[in-house]
Amino acid sequence: EGKERTEAEESAKKAKRTLDRFNGMSVEEVMARKLPDVITHNLDMLIIGINPGLLSAYKGRHYPNPGNHFWKCLYLSGLTDEQLNHMHDQTLPERYGIGFTNMVERTTPGSKDLSNKEIREGGHQLLEKLQMYRPLIAVFNGKCIYETFCKEIFGVKAKNLEFGLQPYKVPETETVCYLMPSSSPRCAQFPRAQDKVHFFIKLKELRDQMKGVVRTQEIQETSYTFDLPLAKEDAKRLSIKEEQHDPGYEETCAHGSQQHTQQAFEVRPSTDTDQVSDNRWTMQPFDQLNILFFIIVLFNILMCFACF
């Protein structure tokens, strides 16, 4: 009985959290919503997700989850010139030639809630959409989306898929396919935003190449590596060079340290006033004693006059 009561309480708390999350709407009500595409003709790239999640459907925006890496990577790669968020999704077609759609329209708590039939049918619906709007690049945000699309549309069972530009164009169009890791933070292979920026940078390069834009040097990839033995050798070599350049280096440093210590304890002559942190001026104790003495003398004089 106690266990059943605990489970009931947990269920009630979970339901309350859900209601709070969606401003009083139930999960069923949110799932009934659809997320509109942000799409127009002749886009540079169309970002393709698998289907709307609850938060996307509730807000009516693409990639609203603050943990999702999409908007951050978009900015870090130079695809946008400022940090944007889901509230700007409607402006991207005009400003940057970027649109949004999903393979499946139905909203679910997670992609695992979709049936294989839905995903396969979604592939054909996506094909019709791509043939109608003809973006320059169809960008698949996640492997599972492209795997299904590849099998349904190209009749090819994709094996050992690599991210980046794919070998097939969308039938009856010049639209190329580009595969990148899912921008979700749950992507186990690339769990951090910085792990995914590379693929956004390559996407930008592909777009510029296809549009004949001259590549700039504003965005450059950097390979971050650290070799401890090499670092030690470099440190040793630099130390030797410095000793050769200035044999008295250590002695100078030691002398400088002593001089700094002496300066730190150097006695300075006192001044009449010192400035305090709130930019007001305060008097030294000696001045305060003088004033107190003056007040006492003045008080005694007044008392004498009062006696007369």
List pLDDT tens digits, range 241-264. Answer: 333 333 332 333 333 333 433 333
| Structure-token pair, residue 35 | 């997320």
> Would you say how long the chain is, in residues?
308
Catalytic residue among 23, 41, 42, 51: 51
**Residue 38, helix vs strand vs coil:** strand
pLDDT tens digits, one per residue of 223-237: 434 444 544 454 444
What is the per-residue pLDDT for 111? Answer: 86
What digits encode the pLDDT tens for the residues 34-49?
999 999 999 999 999 9
What the block records as the tokens of 97 is 């030639």
Which H or E run contains 82? none
Active-site residue flag, 260: no
14-28, 38-52, 84-98, 108-122: which has the minimum mean pLDDT?
A: 14-28
Q: Which residues contact 130 (CB under 8 A, 6 or more apart)?
A: 46, 138, 170, 173, 175
For 82-96, the pLDDT digits (tens) are 999 999 999 999 999
pLDDT of residue 256: 37
Q: pLDDT tier at 194 (50, 70, 90 boundaries)?
A: confident
Q: Which of 81-85, 115-119, 191-195, 208-212 has the lowest mean pLDDT?
A: 191-195
Rounded to two decimals, what is the model's pTM?
Answer: 0.66
In the residue annotation, 62 being an active-site residue is answered as yes
Q: Which of 42, 62, 85, 141 is catalytic?
A: 62
What is the overall mean pLDDT for the chain? 77
Distances in Å between the Cα of 41 and the Cα atoms of 23, 38, 66, 94 are 35, 11, 29, 11
Which token pair is 9? 């309480």
In which band, very low, low, confident or very high, does the pLDDT at 164 lie, cut at 50, 70 and 90?
very high
Integer Cα distance of 307 and 280 in angstroms: 42
